[in-house]
Structure formats: C-alpha cells, structure tokens
C-alpha cells in the first residue's frame, strides 16, 4: 500500500528524529537529520534546501543551491538507530524553477517507469536483485605515495586455520566451498538472521538468506520483487541495514565486487519482468524456456547493449576483477535457460507469474536507480526494434573448444572499455528523456578521472613482486 503524507505523520508518534536522505550519482546514500517536530504537512510541499556543489555528480559552486522534497512512500522507522528515527527518501529539485533535477538518479528511475507506460508494452516493471556481500572480522588498507596495502581478517577464512594467537576450532571454509554448509561452519547464520529481521522491521518483505560460495563470510539475502524505483529504494536500505547491523555486532560488511584474490566475487544478479495489468508479458508456454517473443527481444536488447550497460551496472574498476572466467561470473554475452556462465539466464520454472529474465553481470557497487533503469531501457529497445538474441547457449561455455569459444562475444575486461562503449552507444537511454546527455557526460567524466585514472596511475604491491628486481 502506498503511504500518504497523513500516513507518515501518523508514524511520528514516539519518534524523536527525522533523517532526510537522497542519493548521489555514484550511488551513495546522503543524509541530514532534524528534530521530529519539523516534519509537518507543509514540509512535504516546501522541502528543504541543500548545497548541491558538495555532492558528487551534481552542481558547480556557482549554482550550488538545490532543493529536496520527501516522497512519503519511502518512509520507514530505522531499526538500527539508537534514538527513535523516521527516515524519508527525497527527490531533488531546482529551487528556482521547481523542476525535477536531471542528475537525480531517483528521478531517472521514476522517468523510466513512466516511459515504460508510454510505450504501451507494459504497465509495470518488476525487479529483484540478488546482492552478495562479504562480512569480515576486520579490514586494514592504505594507499599513499610510498606504500600500498590491504589485509582482511575473517575467522571462517581458510587462511586462518593455522593461527594460534587465539583458540582455533578449525572447520574454516575452503575456497569456493561456502555454498552452503550449516553452522558451525557457517559462522554468520545468527548475524544474517539479524540482517533479515531488521529489513522486515523496516518494511521490506524478505525471501531468504544464506552463505555464498566464497570463503571469509560471503553471504546473500533476497528481497521479494518490487517495482523498479521502490526496489532501488529497498536496495539502498539493504546495504544500509547490513553495514550498520554488522558494525553493531563487531564486524564489517562490504559490497565491493572482488575483495579476495582466488575466490568468487560478489555479484548482483538482477531479475526483471514486464507486466500489463495482471498478465506477465514475458510468459508464453510454448516459447523457448516459457518465454514470449517480447521477452526474447528484451534479451536481444540486453545482449546488444551489454557493453554500454556494464558501465552502469558494473561500474567500478574492481568490477572487472570479478568478471573473469572460472569464478561463476557471467563473462559470455549470450543467453540460456539454465547456464550460469551466460550473461542472461532464464530461471527454470513453469510458473507463469515467476517467468523472468536474469541479467547476471551487475554487481552491488552500482547505483541501483541508474542500473535498473538502464536494464529496462535496453530491454525495451530490444522489444521496440525486435532485436534477435540469436540461439540460446545451453552448454558449458567455459569448456568449449577454442574455435567455438571465439564465436561467442565476451564482456569487456575493464571499466575504461565500458565507459568508451557507453559514450558510443547510449541513444537507447535517452528515449523519453529518461537519461539526459548532461547526466551521462558527468557520469563518464567522473568515472574516468576519479576511478580509471586513479587506479591506472598507481603501482600495486603485486607489481613490486613481479618487477622490483627487473
């Protein structure tokens, strides 16, 4: 049920603080806090100003004033806060014209949903991400002109089995063996249950949680599907809850795609489907894997635009440490009914309501509003232009002979490559003014300067091992 302003004001009984939140372009939740008595019906109309020049991807210093207006449907009571706190998500506006701000990622998602309706293809896009993460006992890292290092502590990691500084009970998880033994091997069962129950208290319906494949605390929880923008809202909450509950329990959580060498990274397989009224547009009993022609064309759009999509769905230099063969990563630009090495998978189900497309390249470092919107826009472009996805690849693509493997296109190997692809292939994102050129230009510029160049210019510890004695 959609919350109204009255519903939100009714929630403030016993609340002392109101936290106002919005998201920057790279995908980090921003916030400030005010006393609960400031939350009035008028506040929802008038909003509150802030400095847009201090937010990544937003305004320059000479045009810094911006405005936030809360969306009542985002309201929840923070289950991790020590002081009773109501949280409100906001959209960003120009304070002079009161127009929605083109670089506000949440506005992009709202426009994507409106564009879908305007096409007549469907009324609603449902999304369900599977965001993986690691929970460590500690982490240390530094990057300075004269030194660079990182170190991870995890009581369940295989490399801890020989430590004798504290009592060691054994049973650590070997590489790629974390999916998914019961406790005590799975040391995080109680903590993940706390994550899940906190999400439910915040109003998000959860499906399940479990340990994931990698050693050292890799985990996953799944949320019940929701509409595009609301699921992006929920994913921000998911990351917030996990990080805060982990910290409150003496641990630290990360959604970094590839923190460990030699083991699986953390992906975020994104399931999506289109509905018109009570009909799943993606379902056709007689089609391949139960898919309709529209669904196959949707896949065709994802495959055609895969390289530029990855700039928004796998948007860090670290993402491409994960997208390599051998670690269950989807490196093949192909589709299949059950093959997890393909970038698009159709989960095996005969339930017409559950028929969906799983796009397996994304990871949880992305901005979900931009990532989900881009996936939808690529799929719609496929439907509108009847893009043929080719034949399905229902075979082990990792083990193909070299001659056959060459025929299947692989995902890009770096953030630099996918940013170049986005620069060359983005017209499908501009339809309906969903994405705007100024947003894409700023996004590409930020990523190149602050991430691609930042990594490209720095020596790494392993380079010292390879080249110091050259």
Q: Find all residues with CB under 8 Å of 54, minimum gap 6, and list them.
A: 64
* Interatomic CA distance for residues 275 and 278, integer angstroms: 7
List 220, 233, 328, 451, catalytic entry: 220
Cα separations (Å) of 309 from 25, 143, 292?
A: 16, 30, 23
CA distance 293 to 383: 9
Let me know if 247 is a catalytic residue: no
From the candidates 7, 41, 51, 463, give the one annotated as an active-site residue: 51
Residue 177 annotated in active site:
no
Q: Please tell me which residue in 78, 104, 113, 130 is annotated as part of the active site.
A: 130
**Distance, CA of 307 to CA of 95 (rounded, Å):** 37
Residues 211, 269, 297, 345: which is the catalytic one? 269
How many residues can be counted in the chain? Answer: 470
Alpha-carbon span 221 to 464, nearest angstrom: 38
| SS3 label, residue 280 | strand
User: For this structure, is 51 an active site residue?
Assistant: yes
130 in catalytic set: yes
User: What CA–CA distance (Å, rounded) separates 226 from 234?
Assistant: 9
Active site residue 340: yes
Q: Could you confirm whether 104 is annotated as catalytic? A: no
User: Which of these is catalytic: 156, 212, 284, 328?
Assistant: 212
**Cβ–Cβ under 8 Å, residues 261 and 269:** no
Distance CA 453, CA 463 (A): 17
Non-local (6+) Cβ contacts of 298 within 8 A are 274, 282, 357, 379, 380, 382, 383
Tell me which of 71, 360, 363, 426 is the catalytic residue. 360
Token match 């929802």: residue?
44
- Residue 16 catalytic? no
Q: What is the DSSP string of 334-359?
A: EEESS-TTEEEE------GGG--EEE
Active site residue 132: yes
List, in order, residues 6 or more apart from 155 with CB less than 8 Å away.
137, 172, 187
**Of 71, 113, 132, 263, which one is the catalytic site residue?**
132
Task: List all residues 6 or more positions away from 350 whose beta carbon is below 8 Å from its beta carbon.
Answer: 290
Catalytic residue, chosen from 340, 395, 420, 423, is 340
Ordered alpha helix ranges (H), 94-227: 105-119, 189-201
Query: Shortest CA distance to 379 belongs to which of 291, 446, 314?
Result: 291
Distances (CA, A) of 288 to 53, 291, 306, 330, 338: 50, 6, 21, 21, 12
The residues carrying an active-site annotation are 51, 130, 132, 212, 220, 269, 340, 358, 360
């Amino acid at each position: 049920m959609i919350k109204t302003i009255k519903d939100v004001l009714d929630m403030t009984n016993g609340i002392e603080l109101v936290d106002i939140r919005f998201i920057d372009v790279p995908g980090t939740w921003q916030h400030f806090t005010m006393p609960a008595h400031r939350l009035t019906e008028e506040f929802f109309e008038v909003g509150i100003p802030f400095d847009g020049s201090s937010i990544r991807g937003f305004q320059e210093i000479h045009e810094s004033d911006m405005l936030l207006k809360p969306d009542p449907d985002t309201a929840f009571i923070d289950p991790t806060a020590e002081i009773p706190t109501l949280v409100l998500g906001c959209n960003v506006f120009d304070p002079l014209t009161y127009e929605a701000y083109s670089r506000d990622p949440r506005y992009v998602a709202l426009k994507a949903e409106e564009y879908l309706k305007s096409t007549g293809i469907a009324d609603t896009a449902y999304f369900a991400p599977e965001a993986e993460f690691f929970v460590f006992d500690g982490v240390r890292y530094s990057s300075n002109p004269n030194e660079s290092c990182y170190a991870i502590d995890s009581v369940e990691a295989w490399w801890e089995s020989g430590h004798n500084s504290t009592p060691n009970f054994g049973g650590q998880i070997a590489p790629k063996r974390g999916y998914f033994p019961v406790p005590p091997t799975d040391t995080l069962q109680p903590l993940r249950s706390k994550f899940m129950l906190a999400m439910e208290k915040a109003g998000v319906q959860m499906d399940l949680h479990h340990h994931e494949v990698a050693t050292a605390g890799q985990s996953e929880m799944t949320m019940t599907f929701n509409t595009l923008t609301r699921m992006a809202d929920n994913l921000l909450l998911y990351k917030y809850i996990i990080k805060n509950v982990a910290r409150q329990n003496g641990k630290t959580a990360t959604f970094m795609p590839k923190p460990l060498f030699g083991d699986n990274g953390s992906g975020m397989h994104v399931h999506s489907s289109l509905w018109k009224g009570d009909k799943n547009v993606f379902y056709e009993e007689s089609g391949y894997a139960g898919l309709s022609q529209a669904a196959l064309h949707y896949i065709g759009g994802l495959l055609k635009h895969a390289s530029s999509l990855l700039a928004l769905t796998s948007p860090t230099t670290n993402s491409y440490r994960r997208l390599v063969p051998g670690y269950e990563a989807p490196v093949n630009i192909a589709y299949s009914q059950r093959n997890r090495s393909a970038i698009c998978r159709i989960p095996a189900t005969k339930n017409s309501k559950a028929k969906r497309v799983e796009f397996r390249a994304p990871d949880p470092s992305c901005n979900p509003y931009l990532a989900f919107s881009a996936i939808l826009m690529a799929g719609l472009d496929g439907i509108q232009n009847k893009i043929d996805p080719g034949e399905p690849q229902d075979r082990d693509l990792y083990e193909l002979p070299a001659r056959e493997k060459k025929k299947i296109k692989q995902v890009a190997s770096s953030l630099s490559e996918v940013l170049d692809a986005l620069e060359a292939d983005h017209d499908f994102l501009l339809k309906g003014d969903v994405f705007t050129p100024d947003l894409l230009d700023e996004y590409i510029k930020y990523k190149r300067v602050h991430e691609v160049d930042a990594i490209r210019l720095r020596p790494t510890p392993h380079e010292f091992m390879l080249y110091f004695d050259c």
